[in-house]
Amino acid sequence: MRCVIFDLDGTLADTAGDLIAAANAALGAMGHAPQLVMGRDDATALRGGRAMLQLAADRMGMAQAAPMIATGYPLLLSAYGDAIDRHTTLYPGAMDAVARLKARGIAVGICTNKPEGLAETLLTRLGVRAEFAALVGADTLPVRKPDPAPFFEAVARAGGARRQSCLIGDTVTDRDTARAAGRPCALVTFGPLGQSVADLGPEALINHYDGLDSVIDRLIA
């Protein structure tokens, strides 16, 4: 069975606002002023909590960021879990595109570097968890993207065939995951990185989910 695996943050949903709010909350709990700004730091937010805390440390001129990051990361996850869907929205056309794929007998799943529990919570609150046959998070396996194992696990759980699978993402991590798996990758251009994802050399670009069907037919005929 053909199978399409989606990344979550920056691909299916714009989660940057809630991630940035959680990072600033963690900084506040440690006695620091907010350092990240919604809109300006979205690309960093979608690289994960540690990347946001590292950016904050850089802006505060910390010579040794590791202790602050180690302390702040659990605080960030807790804050994020408490307010995971205040700003987050699904990208236009995303779920219509998923519905079209399923109607054509194409399996769909998610492979994300967000912790599995948080991904489950977010998708449930957005009302779309049941639309995906598989969800593999950063801690589902001992390894995470760009290791190909989580991608292969998502394909297997969705009931798809590896040789007929592809990955839809938005960053170099997704591109590298697909390459490590020997499978094609399409990157969306409506995430924080915009059209610059073309420089990563994916097999296809997606400017709007209205165009997903033709991309899938080209990548996994």
Where does a domain end: 82, 102, 127? Answer: 82
Q: What is the mean pLDDT of residues 199-203?
A: 97
Q: What is the mean pLDDT of residues 75-97?
A: 96
Confidence of residue 32 (pLDDT cuts 50, 70, 90): very high
- 62 and 165: one domain? no
pLDDT at residue 62 in the model: 93
- 21 and 110: one domain? no
- 74 and 92: one domain? no
* Distances, alpha carbon 71 to alpha carbons 46, 74, 75, in Å: 20, 7, 7
Q: What is the mean pLDDT of residues 184-213?
A: 96
Rounded mean pLDDT of the chain? Answer: 96
- What does the alpha-carbon distance between residue 170 and residue 193 come to, in Å, rounded to a whole number? 8
**46 pLDDT exceeds 90?**
no
Where does a domain end: 82, 110, 129? Answer: 82
Q: Is 7 a catalytic residue?
A: yes
- 21 and 122: one domain? no
Q: What is the mean pLDDT of residues 140-149?
A: 98
Q: What is the mean pLDDT of residues 111-130?
A: 96
- 141 and 182: one domain? yes
- 94 and 70: one domain? no
**203 pLDDT exceeds 90?**
yes
Distance of CA 121 to the CA centre of its chain: 14
Confidence of residue 150 (pLDDT cuts 50, 70, 90): very high
Q: What is the mean pLDDT of residues 159-186?
A: 97
- 114 and 21: one domain? no
- 63 and 102: one domain? no
In percent, how much of the chain has pLDDT > 70? 100
Confidence of residue 221 (pLDDT cuts 50, 70, 90): confident
- 133 and 108: one domain? yes
- 60 and 129: one domain? no
pLDDT at residue 112 in the model: 97
Choosing from 7, 14, 41, 174, the catalytic residue is 7
- What does the alpha-carbon distance between residue 142 and residue 149 come to, in Å, rounded to a whole number? 9
Domain with 41, as residue range(s), is 16-82
**189 pLDDT exceeds 90?**
yes
pLDDT at residue 138 in the model: 95
- 25 and 113: one domain? no
- What does the alpha-carbon distance between residue 171 and residue 193 come to, in Å, rounded to a whole number? 8
Where does a domain end: 40, 64, 82? Answer: 82
For 156-191, letters b (16+ CB in 10 Å) and e give bbbebeeebbbbbbbbbbbbbbbbebebbbbbbebb
- 169 and 105: one domain? yes
